[in-house]
Chains A and B, each alone.
Chain A
Amino acid sequence: MSAVAAEAAVGEITSRTTSSPLIYFSSASDNTHRFVMKLGGDVARLPIYTYEETLLAQEPFVLVLPTYGGENRLGAVPKQVIKFLNVEQNRKLIRGVIGAGNTNFGETYCLAGDIVAEKCHVQHLYRFELMGTSDDVDLVREGLEEFWTRLSLTKKLL
């Protein structure tokens, strides 16, 4: 399946590429979408359905993704996110993860974010619940700004 996705990514690049520094998945409930809208700035939403073509990132980005309730480790990451990360170029450009969830889910709170961070060797930068409070929005906005600044400085030093 991953090979197919990667292959498909080579064709029709123009319709699905994104240079946004923040890419996110949100289901029809729109909780994560609302959080991202409050953050503002240049953002790109992954397709809601797996049969839709996924995005191809052109620039480094942070991924925001939700975890729904009660999963075990298997199946915690939304399929649409798996499809996106199956594309090698997307994995190369991911720089961090922000998780959405609900503490009611106990040990699996924001588990999908943990899994992606672990697999891509990037930091799980922040966790928030449902659509996030205004404090969450402020912290993430400031945090991301500092994160990208530091990242560009590190790049120049290397």
Chain B
Amino acid sequence: MTPDKLKLAGHVKAINWNRIEDEKDVEVWNRLCNNFWLPEKVPLSNDVQSWATLTPDEQLLTMRVFTGLTLLDTLQGTVGAVSLIPDAITQHEEAVYTNIAFMESVHAKSYSSIFSTLASTKEIDEAFRWSVENVNLQKKAQIIESYYHGDDPLKRKIASTLLESFLFYSGFYLPMYWSSRAKLTNTADLIRLIIRDEAVHGYYIGYKYQKGLEKVSEERREELKAWTFELMFELYENEVQYTHDLYDSVGLAEDVKKFLHYNANKALMNLGYEAMFPAAVTDVSPAILSALSPNSDENHDFFSGSGSSYVIGKAVNTEDDDWDF
């Protein structure tokens, strides 16, 4: 890092939550507060027996995956979300970033709760050592961090959204996989809370990126779009190697890659761009999708089901009381 003057938000005024410029700030602040949780609320110790049924290789993989996720959460909590504050458009946006930063630190700490419940100090220390030494893991953190320290506020938001909505998923796959096989189910419950938070973070930072785009020239918009896809590609190539490195030993790499494609599409959509990967390579195993969201299977939908059971719904007059949501 250069010894430049520390960049902070400009002249600070008292924040007035009774004068709102962007309703999205209040909406997201409220949502984040409603979603607030702490790892102590999740009965992780119920997973101790299940942990013992994993092979040593599976345990090692799980430890490594979680230290990898810890690194990303640490980066986002202490550098990423904070780096977005000086360029916020509204003061309420600044406040939302402080909320995001704190929650990322909660996520990072929650992995340590999992570790201390399931593993020995020696195993924990070894997994953290691995996270420092793994080339692909370090590379993804370095790529993102370089833009956090860079001087382009919109590129910072792109990097941040890709971290929130894409880079976590090579790791999130594993607890969903264990959950689908009825293993480490309490750990999976905790990870689902993190997954929910990251969706709101990616959505909000992506939204603010698009607000920022409204203020720049068409030429600059084109440049940033091209840059987004280049960065996505660079990160994707690294993620593929990281995935093989981790998951080849248990034969899951191919399905993890589908999960990467699926989430890469969602990350791009959060930035306002069209999905890049076609359906043929985003068909993640249904067991994983249903571990993520029990209503996500296709049979739930009328249009994508077999079509043979087309029941015409009938609108029934309802009383106004029914609308008391």
A residues with a Cβ closer than 8 A to B are: 2-3, 6, 27-31, 34, 49, 68-71, 74-77, 82, 85-86, 88, 91-96, 102-107, 109-110, 114-115, 117, 119-127, 129-131, 133-135, 139-140, 142-143, 146-147, 150-151, 154
Report chain A residues within 8 Å CB of B303.
125-126, 139-140, 142-143, 147
Give the residue name and chain of the A residue nearest to B172 (CB).
Answer: A104
B266 within 8 A of A: yes
Residue interface bits B249-285, CB-to-A below 8 A is 1, else 0: 0000000000000000110011010110011000000
| Given known contacts A28-B24, A106-B196, A121 and B314 CB-to-CB distance under 8 angstroms | yes
B295-A88 in contact (CB<8A): no
8 Å CB contact of A92 from B195, B296, B317 = B317
| Given known contacts A2-B320, A85-B323, A123 and B302 CB-to-CB distance under 8 angstroms | yes
B203 within 8 A of A: yes
Report chain B residues within 8 Å CB of A127.
295-296, 300-301
Report chain B residues within 8 Å CB of A131.
269, 272
Give the residue name and chain of the A residue nearest to B323 (CB).
Answer: A86
8 Å CB contact of B312 from A30, A31, A150 = A150
| Given known contacts A29-B24, A119-B322, A130-B266, A105 and B302 CB-to-CB distance under 8 angstroms | no
Q: Which one of B200, B207, B269 has the highest number of Cβ atoms from chain A below 10 Å of its Cβ?
A: B269
A69-B35 in contact (CB<8A): yes
B304-A92 in contact (CB<8A): no
Give the residue name and chain of the B residue nearest to A93 (CB).
Answer: B315
B199 within 8 A of A: yes
Q: How far is the CB of A108 from chain B (nearest CB, A)?
A: 9
B279-A115 in contact (CB<8A): no
Report chain A residues within 8 Å CB of B318.
91, 119-120
In this complex, the interface size class of chain B, counting residues with CB under 8 Å from chain A, is 35 or more
A69-B31 in contact (CB<8A): yes
A103-B325 in contact (CB<8A): no
8 Å CB contact of B320 from A86, A126, A146 = A86
5 smallest beta-carbon distances between A and B, as pairs: A143-B303, A104-B199, A122-B313, A103-B293, A130-B269
Report chain B residues within 8 Å CB of A71.
34
8 Å CB contact of A106 from B200, B278, B292 = B292
B224 within 8 A of A: no
Report chain A residues within 8 Å CB of B307.
146
Report chain B residues within 8 Å CB of A91.
315, 317-318
B320-A122 in contact (CB<8A): no
CA A96 – CA B322 in complex, angstroms?
A: 18
A126-B304 in contact (CB<8A): yes
Q: How far is the CB of B219 from chain A (nearest CB, A)?
A: 22
New contact pairs (15) apart from A115-B325, A119-B318, A121-B315, CB-CB < 8 Å: A3-B320, A29-B203, A70-B31, A92-B317, A95-B313, A95-B315, A102-B266, A104-B195, A106-B192, A109-B296, A121-B314, A125-B303, A146-B307, A146-B310, A154-B312
A94-B289 in contact (CB<8A): no
Q: Which one of B27, B265, B302, B318 has the highest number of Cβ atoms from chain A below 10 Å of its Cβ?
A: B302
B302-A106 in contact (CB<8A): no
| Given known contacts A6-B320, A88-B320, A120-B315, A103 and B289 CB-to-CB distance under 8 angstroms | yes
B274-A134 in contact (CB<8A): yes
CA A69 – CA B202 in complex, angstroms?
A: 12
Q: Which one of A30, A75, A106, A109 has the highest number of Cβ atoms from chain B below 10 Å of its Cβ?
A: A106
Report chain B residues within 8 Å CB of A154.
312
Give the residue name and chain of the B residue nearest to A91 (CB).
Answer: B318
Report chain A residues within 8 Å CB of B216.
none
List, sorted by A's number, 20 A–B pairs whose CB atoms are closer than 8 Å.
A2-B323, A3-B320, A28-B24, A69-B199, A70-B31, A70-B200, A104-B198, A106-B195, A106-B292, A106-B294, A107-B295, A115-B325, A120-B318, A124-B300, A124-B302, A125-B301, A127-B296, A139-B304, A147-B302, A147-B303
